[in-house]
Amino acid sequence: MAGGRELNKHAVVLIIEDEPLMRLFASEFIADAGFEVLEAQNADEAVQILENRDDISIIFTDVNMPESIDGLKLAHAVRERWPPIRIIITSGRDIVADRKLPVGARFFMKPYKPEHIVEALFGLVV
């Protein structure tokens, strides 16, 4: 339960963030809001998790990440391959225009307020 709200269904959030402290910060406030949290440090790791689990409701991804693809490309791949998964994208470097987001995705600029992310998460699982 978070702020008097209860999740009406089991909601799993996959956080994809290469910065360990940012990943820990997001994991803690999202878990505190009542969501189950999974973590990946890059897109490759995220895809492995997505391929092995069928219960992920939402991905919460940073745009700028090392390795094979960035978070925006990952978000588009998730939209194509796993259409029911909801998407939240964040960046501390670039503002991503709505027209560049996958359909239905939400964007938040860093530094974001945890309560804004939690509100968006609850809005996606209703």
Q: State the sign of the Cα–Cα–Cα–Cα dihedral 96, 97, 99, 102.
A: positive
Whether residue 105 contacts residue 80, with contact meaning beta carbons closer than 8 Å, is answered with: no
Task: Give the CATH fold of the 12-125 domain.
Answer: Rossmann fold (3.40.50)
22-74 pLDDT, tens digit per residue, is 999 999 999 999 999 999 999 999 999 999 999 999 999 999 987 779 999 99
The full set of domain ranges for the chain reads 12-125
- Kindly report the pTM of this predicted structure: 0.91
DSSP states of 60-107: EEES--SSSS-HHHHHHHHHHHSTTSEEEEEESS-PPPGGGSPTT-EE
Please tell me the predicted confidence (pLDDT) of residue 5. 55
